[in-house]
Amino acid sequence: MYADEWLLAINKPPGLRALPDGYDPSLPHLRSVLEPLWGRLWIVHRLDRETSGVILLARTAEAHRMLNDAFAGRNVAKCYHALVVGEPTWDVQRVDLPLLADGDRRHRTVVNLKQGKPAVTELRVLARWGGYALIEALPHTGRTHQIRAHLAALGLPIVADLLYGAAAASVPLQRPALHARSISFVHPHTTAPLTLVAPYWPDMEAALESLKAGHPHAG
Q: How confident is the model at residue 219, as a pLDDT?
A: 54
Q: List the Cα angle 27/32/38 in 5-degree steps.
A: 165
> Cα–Cα distance between 149 and 91 in angstroms, integer?
19
Catalytic position from the list 4, 48, 91, 102:
48
pLDDT for residue 213: 86
Q: Which residues of the chain have pLDDT under 70?
A: 167-169, 215-219
pLDDT reported for residue 130 = 87
Question: How far separated are the first and last CA of the chain, in Å rounded?
Answer: 29
Give the angle 118-86-91 at the CA atoms, nearest 5°: 65
- pTM confidence score: 0.93
Q: Is residue 48 among the annotated active site residues? A: yes
Homologous superfamily of 2-214 in CATH?
Pseudouridine synthase (3.30.2350.10)
For 164, list phi and psi in degrees, rounded to 5.
-105, 25
Contacts 24+ apart (CB under 8 A), 21-29: none
Residue-range domain boundaries for the chain: 2-214
Kind of pairing between the strands at 52-58 and 7-12: antiparallel
Residue 172: per-residue pLDDT: 80
Give the 3-state secondary structure percentages of the chain, helix then strand then coil, rounded to 5: 20, 30, 45
What DSSP string runs through 91-123?
Answer: SEEEEE--EETT-STT---EE-TTTPBP-EEEE
Whole-number pLDDT of residue 74? 86
pLDDT, position 214? 77
Q: What is the pLDDT of residue 69?
A: 94
Which residues does residue 133 pair with via DSSP β-bridges, in sequence order?
Answer: 84, 128
| SS3 state at 166 | coil
